Amino acid sequence: MTTPLTVTFSGELAEKIQLLATLRHQNINSLFETLVDQAWPDESDEITEPDAVATPEMQTYSALHPMLKQKYFGQYVAIYQGKLIDHDPDHDAIYRRIDAQYPDEFVWISLVEEEAIPTLVFRSPRMEWNEMV
């Protein structure tokens, strides 16, 4: 499966990319595939490790989300050690209370929205190649 991408480079960088592709006897697409494959960690390497403290609180938030959505939609909620400990429509207010009560502890604070964990959408970058005249 191929996905077209468009990325814009400065003239100087575009010249370097073209020269590198020429020196390697590759077209631009295969050059980028090679470079990304070389830069990407081995499949055995984890790119990020799950956070042992945050993950259980996130799971609790996700499990409680249907109830939280009914009662606290549009408010911020705080989850600590698997329990809902506070809620407030004002993020700064809930943050100050949580910071005062649990100064060196991780507390999950989240805005209750339609989805428990909102889906993030990123637009694909575009690559544009300006031919040098």
Write down the pLDDT at residue 29. Answer: 84
Question: If one looks up domain 1-41 in CATH, what number appears?
Answer: 1.10.1220
Q: What does the pLDDT look like over 59-89, one tens digit per residue? A: 999 999 999 999 999 999 999 999 999 999 9
**Looking at the chain, which residues constitute the CATH 1.10.1220 domain(s)?**
1-41
- Per DSSP (E only), the strands in 61-105 are 76-80, 83-88
Assess contact for 112 and 86: CB atoms under 8 A. Answer: no
Task: Please tell me the predicted confidence (pLDDT) of residue 49.
Answer: 64
pTM of the model: 0.55
Structure confidence at residue 46 (pLDDT): 57
In whole angstroms, what separates CA 132 from the centre of its chain? 36
- Strand, coil or helix: what is 48? coil
For residue 47, the model assigns a pLDDT of: 54
Spatial separation of the C-alpha atoms in residues 79 and 94, rounded to whole Å:
11
- What is the tens place of the pLDDT at every residue in 39-58? 776 665 555 666 777 888 98
